[in-house]
Amino acid sequence: MPQLILILLLIGLAIAAVIIVIYLVIMIVWTLVALVLRIVAWVFVLWLGSSLVGLVGGVVRGVVLPPFVLAGREEEQPGIATPEAVKAGRVLGAAPRGQASWDYAWPIYVPYQAKRDANAVLAAAKRISRDAFRSAFDSWILGALLLPVVTGYALGLWVSVLTWYLLMRLLGGVVHLVQTLGVRVYRWSGHLAQRRRKAELRCVKCYRVTLTPSYRCANPDCTAIHRDVRPGPLGVSHRRCGCGTRIPVTVSRAARQLTALCPLCDEDAPEGSGTRRVLPVPVIGAVSAGKTQFLTAGVVELAHQVESLSGTLTPISPGAEDFVRAAATAVANGRRVAKTAWDDRPEGVPLMLSVRGREAEVHFMDAAGENFVDWDRSGSLGYLDTTDTLLFILDPLALPAVRERLRRANEGDTVPLAQGDQEDAYASVVDRLRASRVPLDAKRLAVVLTKLDVLQRIPDTDGPDPEERDSVREWLRANGARGLVRRIDQDDFRNVGYFAVNSLGARDGSDPSHPVRVFDWVLRSADPRLAVVSARTSGTEEEGKAA
- pLDDT at site 142: 61
Q: Residue 66: is the preceding peptide bond cis (ω within 30°)?
A: no
- pLDDT at site 506: 58
- Mean pLDDT, rounded, for 454-470: 87
- pLDDT at site 360: 95
Domain membership flag for residue 354: yes
Of the candidates 397, 413, 403, 419, the residue with the CA atom closest to the CA atom of residue 288: 419
Q: Are residues 232 and 335 in the same domain?
A: no
- pLDDT at site 365: 96
Q: How far apart are CA 384 and CA 283, in angstroms?
A: 9
Q: 99: pLDDT confidence band, cut at 50, 70 and 90?
A: confident
Domain membership flag for residue 10: no
Q: How far apart are CA 1 and CA 453, in angstroms?
A: 175
Q: Are residues 72 and 129 in the same domain?
A: yes
Q: Which domain holds residue 172?
A: 41-95+107-195
Domain membership flag for residue 120: yes
Q: Is 32 exposed, middle or buried (0-12, 13-18, 19+ CB in 10 A)?
A: exposed
Q: Is the pLDDT of residue 213 over 90?
A: yes
Domain membership flag for residue 405: yes
Q: 403: pLDDT confidence band, cut at 50, 70 and 90?
A: confident
Q: Is the pLDDT of residue 544 over 60?
A: no
- Residue-wise over 508-538: b if at least 16 C-beta within 10 A, else e? ebebbbbbbbbbbbbbbbbeeebbbbeeeeb
pLDDT in tens, 3-51: 777 787 778 888 888 888 888 888 888 888 888 877 777 766 777 777 8
Q: Is the pLDDT of residue 295 over 50?
A: yes
Q: Are residues 304 and 419 in the same domain?
A: yes
- pLDDT at site 461: 79
Which residues, listed in sequence order, are joined to residue 278 by a DSSP beta bridge?
A: 361
Q: Are residues 452 and 526 in the same domain?
A: yes
Q: Are residues 347 and 496 in the same domain?
A: yes
Q: 113: which residues sit within 8 A by CB, 6+ positions away?
A: 78, 80, 81, 107
CA atoms within 13 A on the CB side of 149: 13
pLDDT in tens, 245-285: 999 999 999 999 999 999 999 999 998 999 999 999 999 99
Q: C-alpha distances in angstroms, 333 versus 306, 336, 503? A: 22, 9, 14
- Mean pLDDT, rounded, for 68-81: 93
Q: Is the pLDDT of residue 541 over 50?
A: no
The sign of the dihedral angle between the CA atoms of 476, 482, 483, 489 is: positive
Q: Are residues 255 and 313 in the same domain?
A: no
pLDDT more than 70, % of the chain: 94
> Pairing between strand 214-216 and 358-366?
unpaired
Q: Are residues 293 and 161 in the same domain?
A: no
Look at residue 406 and give its three-state secondary structure. helix
Domain membership flag for residue 478: yes
For 171, other C-beta atoms within 10 Å of its C-beta total 12
The sign of the dihedral angle between the CA atoms of 107, 109, 110, 116 is: positive
- pLDDT at site 220: 94
Q: Are residues 290 and 430 in the same domain?
A: yes
Q: Is the pLDDT of residue 214 over 60?
A: yes
- pLDDT at site 78: 94
Q: Is the pLDDT of residue 161 over 90?
A: yes
- Mean pLDDT, rounded, for 77-89: 94
Q: Are residues 251 and 281 in the same domain?
A: no
- pLDDT at site 143: 58
- pLDDT at site 343: 82
- pLDDT at site 416: 87
Domain membership flag for residue 166: yes
pLDDT in tens, 424-443: 999 999 999 999 999 999 99
Q: 411: pLDDT confidence band, cut at 50, 70 and 90?
A: low
The sign of the dihedral angle between the CA atoms of 431, 500, 467, 481 is: negative
Q: Are residues 142 and 252 in the same domain?
A: no
- pLDDT at site 415: 79
Q: Are residues 354 and 442 in the same domain?
A: yes
Most confident of 90-99, 339-348, 366-375, 385-394: 385-394
Domain membership flag for residue 26: no
- pLDDT at site 540: 43
Q: How far apart are CA 383 and CA 380, in angstroms?
A: 9
Q: 122: pLDDT confidence band, cut at 50, 70 and 90?
A: very high
- pLDDT at site 148: 81
Q: Are residues 289 and 365 in the same domain?
A: yes
3-state helix, strand, coil in the chain (%, to 5): 50, 15, 35
- pLDDT at site 505: 59
- pLDDT at site 23: 83
Q: How far apart are CA 282 and CA 388, in angstroms?
A: 10
Q: Is the pLDDT of residue 547 over 60?
A: no
Q: Is the pLDDT of residue 131 over 80?
A: yes
- pLDDT at site 538: 55
Domain membership flag for residue 177: yes
Q: 539: pLDDT confidence band, cut at 50, 70 and 90?
A: low
- Mean pLDDT, rounded, for 540-544: 42
Single out the residue in 229, 261, 293 at which a domain terminates.
261
Q: 97: pLDDT confidence band, cut at 50, 70 and 90?
A: confident
> Pairing between strand 349-355 and 312-315?
antiparallel
pLDDT greater at residue 98 or residue 172: 172
Q: Look up the CATH number of the domain holding residue 327.
A: 3.40.50.300
pLDDT greater at residue 191 or residue 545: 191
Phi, psi of 311, rounded to the nearest 5 degrees: -110, -170
Q: 498: pLDDT confidence band, cut at 50, 70 and 90?
A: very high
- pLDDT at site 346: 92
Domain count, the chain: 3
- pLDDT at site 145: 64
